[in-house]
Amino acid sequence: KKNFPSNVRLPGCVNLPVLVPERLVVTGADEPVCAHAGEDVTLSCSVDTHVNVTELQLKWIKTDDDGDILVLLYDDGENRPESQDERYSRRAEFYTEEIPKGNFSVKLRKVRTEDKGEFRCEVHSDTDSASTTARIAALGESPGHLHKVSHRANQAGLRRGTGQFSMSRRGRQGPTTQTTNPDPGPPGAGCLDPAAIILWRGTTALSGSCSAVPAAPSCPAVPVASSTPCPAGPVAPAGPSAPSIPVNVHLDPSTAHPKLIISGDWKSVRLGENRQTFPENSLRFDHVVNVLGKESFSSGRHYWEVEVKHKTDWTLGVAKRTVSRKGTLLIRPDAGFWTIILKDGMYKANSESPVLLSLKETPQKVGVYVDYGRGQVSFYSVDSRTHIFSFSGYNFTEELHPLLRPGLNDDGKNTSPLIITPIDGPGGDPEPMGTRQDGAPTHCRTLSHQWEI
C-alpha cells in the first residue's frame, strides 16, 4: 500500500472539498435573575449569527419536577405560540425584531412564584444542537404596596432573615390599616422569598421580629434607600459594615473625549459638534466618547444619581482606573467596565454577553450603587424606585471611577446633557452634609443591603 501526499492530484481523480458543518454557538447570561412577583424579566439566549436563524428550531423549556414545560417554540422561521404551555400563554414572548440578529431572549411578563427555577434554551439545526440555561433565583412579594416607609422603621431592629412582621398604614385622613404576614418558615439553601423593603420617607411603619440568616450568595443584593436624617446610632439594621452615603461626583475633564463638553461645575456632559484640541494625554479617551469621574473608590459603598431625561443614547456605570483609553474598546466587565446602556430604543447591560433589559417605565434619573467589598454594581430608576440591573460577585482589586457617556447626537434627538444631580435630603431639597464626631455625615441618603423579613 502506497501513501500519496495530500497535495498530489491523481490522474482521472477529482479532489472534492470536505464540508464540515459549523457548530452552533449559544450563549446566555452569567448571573441568575432575581425579581419580585408581578415584575417582567428577560431571560437571555443568543445564537452566533453565522447561522441562518430561519433554519433553526429553538425551544425555551422550564425544567420542573413533574417534567419539562414548553415555554416558547420557534420553528420554520416563525414563532409558534400555539405550542406553548398554557401557563406561559400571553406571558412569554420573543423580542421579534431581535431574532434576525440571533437574539432569542424571552420576555416573561408578570413573574409568578412557580416561575422560580431553571429555564433551558435549546437550539437545533440539521447538523448540531446546543443549549444554555437561565435561572430565576429568587421571587418576592411585589414591594409596590410599600410605597413609603417611615424612618421609624430604621429603629425597628430589622435584620436580614425571615419571620413575622406587620405593616400599618395611616393615611392623612381615615383610620389606620394593618396587615400581618404569615411566618414564611425556615430559610432554604437558596435565595429567600420575602420581599425587599424599600424605605422611603413617609407615613408607614414596620414592626416585628426577624431571625438573622446569611444572605444567599447567588442573588445580587438590592439596596434599601432611606432619605432621612442619620440617627446617633447605626442608620441601617445591624450589619458588618457602615451604610453608604451619596458621592458628590465631579467629572474629570482630563479623561474626556475631545468632542465632549463639560460644564463649568463639572456636573454635566454633552457631545459637541467639533473635536477640541488638547495636549496629548494618556488619561483621555480618544475614540469612545467617555468621561470618568474625579472621585474613586477602593472600599465601602457609594451612591450617586444621573439625570438622563430627553436622551436616546447613554451609558452609565463605573470603570477601573487602569482601563484602556485609546482606540476601539470592549465596554464590558472583563475589560474593566460595569455599565448599562440605552441605544436604538433598547436598554442593555454591557456584560460579556449583553443582557437585554425590560423596563416598565423610561428612567428619567438613574441611581448607581457600588458595594466595593461585595463586588457589586447596581442600577436603579430613581423616579419609579425600581431595580434595573446588578453586576455582582466580582473581585474588585483596583480603584473604580464613575463613568458617563452621553452618546452620539442622533440627528439632534440626543443633544441633552447627562447631569449628575444632588440627592434630596429629608425635606425634598438638597442639604449640605456636616459630620458627627465619629466622622459620619449628619444627613445622608442611606443605602444598605436587601433586608428580607
**Domain residue spans of the chain:** 26-139, 245-421
How far does Cα 422 stand from its chain's mean position? 22
* Strand duo 26-27 + 46-47: pairing: antiparallel
The Cα 202–Cα 174 span in angstroms is: 16
What pLDDT, on the 0 to 100 scale, is given for residue 196?
Answer: 34
What pLDDT, on the 0 to 100 scale, is given for residue 37?
Answer: 76
Q: Identify the residue whose cell numbers are 460579556.
A: 352
What pLDDT, on the 0 to 100 scale, is given for residue 64?
Answer: 81
| Res. 237: pLDDT tops 90 | no
The Cα 246–Cα 445 span in angstroms is: 6
How far does Cα 79 stand from its chain's mean position? 28
Give Cβ neighbours of residue 363 (< 8 Å, ≥ 6 apart).
308, 381, 382, 383, 384, 388
Instruction: Give the sign of the dihedral formed by CA 95, CA 98, CA 100, CA 102.
Output: negative
Q: What is the pLDDT of residues 389-441, one digit of tens each?
A: 999 889 999 999 999 999 998 888 999 999 999 875 433 333 333 333 333 33
Q: Identify the residue whose cell numbers are 492530484.
A: 9
Backbone angles phi, psi at 409, to 5 degrees: -75, -15
Q: What is the pLDDT of residues 304-321, one digit of tens each?
A: 999 999 999 999 999 999
Task: Give which of 138, 145, 144 is closest to 162, Cα–Cα.
Answer: 138
User: Is 70 or 67 the better-scoring residue by pLDDT?
Assistant: 70
Cβ neighbours of 211 (radius 10 Å): 12
Instruction: Fold for 245-421, please state it.
Output: Jelly Rolls (2.60.120)
Cβ neighbours of 406 (radius 10 Å): 28
Q: How many CA atoms lie within 13 A of 160 on its CB side?
A: 17
| Res. 342: pLDDT tops 90 | yes
Q: What is the pLDDT of residues 177-230, one digit of tens each?
A: 444 444 444 333 333 333 333 333 332 333 332 222 333 333 344 343 333 322
Rank 68-82, 305-319, 345-359, 425-439 by mean pLDDT and report only the highest.
Answer: 305-319
Percent of residues, the chain, with pLDDT higher than 90: 37
The Cα 390–Cα 221 span in angstroms is: 8
Q: What is the mean pLDDT of the chain?
A: 72
Query: Domain 26-139's class?
Result: mainly beta
The Cα 404–Cα 382 span in angstroms is: 17
Q: What is the SS3 assignment for 451?
A: coil
Q: Are residues 403 and 317 in contact, defined by beta-carbon separation less than 8 angstroms?
A: yes
| Complete DSSP assignment for 37-98 | TT--EEE--EE-TTS-GGG-EEEEEE--TT--EEEEEEETTEE-GGGS-GGGTTTEEE-GGG
What pLDDT, on the 0 to 100 scale, is given for residue 29?
Answer: 79
